Structure formats: C-alpha cells, structure tokens
Amino acid sequence: MKTLKIAIQKSGRLNEKSVELLKNCGLSFENYKSSLISPVSNFPLEILFLRDDDIPEYVQDGIADLGIVGENVINETEVEVAYLQKLGFGKCSLKLAIPNKGGIEALADLNGKSIATSYPVILRKFLEQNGVAAEIRTISGSVEISPGLGLSDAICDLVSTGGTLKSNGLIPFADVMHSEAVLIGRKGIEEDPLTIELIQRVQSVLRAKE
C-alpha cells in the first residue's frame, strides 16, 4: 500500500501541537528530534520534520503529500496547495506597528515611509490593495528593533500576546492578516482515501476539544 508523507515543523512554535494532534489521531510514532523522518507504525504514513518555511513548497512539489504550517507562511510563499483543515492552534496576527510617537495615524500616513518585515510578499499585496506607496525593507529576524535603530518608520510582524511590541515601544496599528496552523495537501490529495481517513480523524480530535 502507498505510504503518505506529512511534513511538520521540526522545532519551534508549531512542533509540539502538531505532534500532539497526530498522536491524538491515534498515530503511533517516535518523536526523534534528531531524525528527519519518523515512520508511523499503525498507519501508512511517514512524518517529515522540517523548517516551517520549507513546508509549503515541499507539499506543492509533492515531496510531502500533506503538511501542517501557519497560513502566514503559505501566503508568503504563494504556493498552490489544497487547504484541508484549520487546526485551531498557532493563532497570531500579522500587524503593522508604529513607534509610540511616530505621527502616523492613518494608513495613508505610511506613504513614503519605510516598513521592516519578514513578510514582504503579503505586505506588498496589502499596501497595493490599500493604495499605499511605502518602501518595504525585508529583514529575516528581530524586526521589532528596527524602528529603534532608525532602520524603518514602521514594522509589519506577527503578534500573539503583543508583549514584544510593547517592550519595544511599538503600537499595533492595523491588521494585515490573521493566521493559524492549517493542514494542507498537494493538489488532488483530497481524493485519496488515506487522506480522507486522516482528515476525519483530525476533525474528530478537533470536535472533542470544542
């Protein structure tokens, strides 16, 4: 029988909840932190442990059949995948934030300003939709320190509790997108009987939590 592959985050904010979800689906596997692949002993499935940024493309290209990843990462990588199920964890918002005393009050005030982000694709679309012409500065981490260093006028970053913004003297200003972890699959995999079985198990785990 064909074995499915599901890609989940190797370590980070989504790892633990992804593993827990799969275990709650009755799947039995070793959660070796050091290995890239773990076979499931009681279902024709292998688990691939990857950087979250790689998951959408691996799924689009069929290296993995399924994946668990944040919607923010999917939108940023602009892949063509099937959305199978929202998973209710990893919730956060991609927000624009400005320094406390920035003189920015409306989206239009961002015209001609610079915005630091790790999400240039999503931000560019948002600015276009809102008719704002701002310069996007793409940086890979510690976006929130950029206004304090004089590198940008504003930032666009993920927020969950808001503590990081606050401690850097930044105020959330506008929501760009909401995100949570989702189960995705390569196009066409929705028809596969094993995938249907797995989605049903995931849905009954989610229902039991309601």
136-165 residues in contact with Zn ion (CB under 5 A) are none
CB closer to Zn ion, 3 vs 160: 160
CA distance 70 to 47: 17
Min dist. Cβ of residue 51 to Zn ion (A):
5
Give the DSSP letter string of 70-109. Answer: EHHHHHHHT---EEEEE-S-S-EEEEEEEETT----SGGG
- 52 belongs to the binding site for Zn ion (CB under 5 A): yes
For Zn ion, the closer of residues 47 and 55 by Cβ is 55
Pairing of strands 92-99, 181-185: unpaired
Placement of tokens 């001609």 in the chain:
112
Of 75 and 195, nearer to ligand PRT (C-beta) is 75
Q: Report, in Å, the least distance between residue 82 CB and ligand PRT.
A: 19
Please list the residues that pair with 171 across neighbouring strands: 98
Nearer to ligand PRT, 91 or 125 (CB): 91
- Decide which of Zn ion, ligand PRT, none touches 140; Cβ closer than 5 to 8 Å per partner kind: none
Least separation in angstroms between CB 192 and ligand PRT? 26
For residues 22 and 43, which CB has a smaller minimum distance to ligand PRT in the complex?
22
Residue 112 contacts which entry, ligand PRT, Zn ion, none (Cβ below 5-8 A, type-dependent) = none
Residues facing residue 86 across a β-bridge = 182
Q: Is 53 in the site for Zn ion (CB under 5 A)?
A: yes
- Tell me the C-alpha distance between 163 and 170, whole Å: 10
CB-based contacts of 128: which residues, under 8 Å, 6+ apart? Answer: none
Shortest CB 207 distance to ligand PRT, Å: 23
Burial class (CB in 10 A: 0-12, 13-18, 19+), 4: buried
Amino acid 112 reads G
Show the CA angle centred on residue 197, arms to residues 183 and 32, nearest 5°.
Answer: 60
Q: Which is nearer to Zn ion, 89 or 104 (CB)?
A: 89
Given the rule CB under 6 A, which residues bind ligand PRT?
Answer: 9, 12-14, 51-53, 70, 72-73, 90, 92, 157-164, 179
Residue 146 near which of Zn ion, ligand PRT, none (CB within 5-8 Å, type-dependent): none
